[in-house]
Every structure is written in structure tokens, then in C-alpha cells.
Amino acid sequence: MKPEVFEPKIIAFCCHYCAYSSADLAGSMRIQYPPNVRIIRTPCTGRLETEYFIKAFENGADGVFIAGCLEGGCHFVEGNICAKRRVNYTREMLEEIGIEKERLRMVNVSAAMGRPLADLIIEMVETVRKLGPNPVKLNGSSKKESRL
């Protein structure tokens, strides 16, 4: 019998104006990317707050992936720059908590980048697979656990 491979659950916040469309494009182009990501469409990555990322980990996500527009290409001018700063802040906070910061990553893509987005998702899934399950899930149980 083959040993069971860990399949991470990754929350992907995708900007409506770029990454969400490029994920759609990847689908239209029949490009495969792992089903480990749960895509959540957001009006702009600038709408995302530290709270969203922290809650995702608390509720059992093994990784959180944020895909925004290319720098300089944000529909709302600088939403993706704001998101980058919040992601960096949250990565520091994750380290304080004791969670590997690599589990949270932000990338920038345009709406035409179906293939690159699929590659970035594959890379993220592999990174998290190597890290293993979210350590919070492994340490005791709570009523808030495994809501994914």
C-alpha cells in the first residue's frame, strides 16, 4: 500500500480584476492546477486584512495564497501595495505565533497570466506540502477546527 500523501488545503484570495480572471483563463486553456486551493474572489487585494489571514489559519487552512494585480496595474491604484504590506506584517505575526511564514504568500499576476498563475499555485501547494499540515491542527482540538 502506498503511503498517504498529505494534501494541503490552501485558501486563495484572488483579485476580481486579475488573478480571478487568470484562474478562469487557465481553466479555458485546459491548464491543470491542483485542486488544493479554495479560491475566494475579492474586489481587490487591498480589501484584505490581517484578520482574514489569521482567521484562515485558525480555522485550519494549511496555507493562504493571495494573488493580486501586477504592481502598478491595480484597478484601484494601490490596493495591491497595501495588501503586500499587510501580508508582510501578518508573516511576522505568524512567526511570533509559531507558524512558518512560508504558509502565507502573495503573488502578482495580470488577467492574461493563466499559465504563470497555475505554476505559482503548483509551487505554493508543493511548498505547503513540504511544510506539512498546519501545526495548529496537530496540537489538540478545538471547536473552531477543521471548518474547511
Partner 1 sequence: MIVAERKKIQDLLEIVKSHKKLLVLGCGTCVTVCLAGGQREVSIIASALRMAAKLKGQQLEVEELTIERQCDNVFIEQAAEAIQRNDAVLSLACGAGVQAIAERYPSKPVYAGLDTSFIGILEERGIWTEKCAACGQCVLHLYGGICPVTRCAKHMLNGPCSGSREDRCEVDPNRQCAWQLIYKRLKEIGQLDRLKKIKPPKNWSRSQSGGYRTILREDHRV
Residues binding partner 1 (CB under 8 A): 49-51, 54-55, 57-58, 93, 96-99, 135-136, 139-140, 142, 144
Q: Which residues contact 90 (CB under 8 A, 6 or more apart)?
A: 50, 53, 54, 104
73/135 with CB nearer partner 1: 135
Pick the closer one to partner 1 by CB: 30 or 143.
Answer: 143
**Burial of 17 (C-beta count, 10 Å sphere; 0-12/13-18/19+):** buried
CB of 133 vs partner 1, minimal distance in Å: 13
Q: Which is nearer to partner 1, 142 or 146 (CB)?
A: 142
- Smallest separation (angstroms) from partner 1 to the CB of 87: 14
Q: Are 8 and 36 in contact (CB under 8 A)?
A: yes
Grouping H, G, I as helix, E, B as strand and the rest as coil, residue 84 is helix
Shortest Cβ 66–partner 1 spacing (Å): 17
